[in-house]
Amino acid sequence: MHGLGNDFVVVDALTNTIPEQQLSAVATHACDRNFGIGADGLILVLPSRTANMRMRVINSDGSEAGMCGNGIRAFAKYVFDRKIHTDPVLTVETPDGVKTLKLDTAGGKMRSARVDMGEPKLLRSEIPMKGDNTQVVSEPLKVGGSKIDITAVSMGNPHCVTFVDNVAEYPVVKLGPKIENHPSFPARTNVEFVEVLNQKEINMRVWERGCGETLACGTGSCASVVAGVLNHLTSRKVTVHLKGGDLLIEWLGDNHLYMTGPAEEVFVGEVCGAEYKQWIGDI
């Protein structure tokens, strides 16, 4: 499945069990685009005691994500289209708390979803980022012998946003990993490169922690809008143009961010027992 090209292997963990100690290895092999299925991450569909369903997202490098905006829309489509959950309002437990989604449906299928992504966190301790416990807004960061201005936001996972003149030509692949692994970010960080078109539109490319450059990032889009507002560059309702398509992001008066976008199912398959054992070893 994918949300604007940010793609995931979705596993029904209600009926299929992956041992916890093997989860990282399974995700790494499943997400391998040459020797596995190929994806940016692995999503587990799980039961919840605090919400309708629970979601876990394991990145392609085997690390676990705190929250994934494109992934949660794919998750919602999976459970609604298969009638695991039949109400157009869905609550999902994530490591960043319970998220509420309102689904746009037709003919028993989900077309898009509006997700309450919660409140942004802005203090260094919440990102996390080293230094005094202040907000990071248009602050210089030394990267590869030069300085770039950054704004840091957490949307359940860390984001470092920098504004550029021409994002299409910007060296995202060169600078992305350097910023992701910068010593200022003890848990690493996602990196958003943003070109402001006008108050209501931005172009964005993203280097995702644990994945590399992806075609879209929901939490990153939210963080970019927050950064745009904090830097007096955008309004609170912005269309974010990504390589994989568009997301509508709204930062409303309740201090919550709301993300609206589609999700698609691409194909269904099975991993044979022999291949699975090759990935994780004989259990």
The residues annotated as belonging to the active site are 68, 217
C-alpha of 94 from chain center: 12
The size of the chain, in residues, is 283
What's the token pair of residue 283?
A: 């259990």
Those residues whose C-beta lies under 8 Å from the C-beta of residue 31, and which sit 6 or more positions away, are: 9, 37, 38, 39, 40, 41, 42, 59, 60
C-alpha of 61 from chain center: 14
Cis, peptide link before residue 128, omega less than 30° from 0: yes
Distance CA 152, CA 211 (A): 19
What's the token pair of residue 33?
A: 């685009």
What's the token pair of residue 24?
A: 């990282």
Burial class (CB in 10 A: 0-12, 13-18, 19+), 243: middle
DSSP per-residue codes, 129-149: -SSSSSB-SSEEEEETTEEEE
State whether residue 276 is helix, strand or coil.
Answer: helix
Q: Which amino acid is at 45?
A: V
Distance CA 153, CA 32 (A): 29
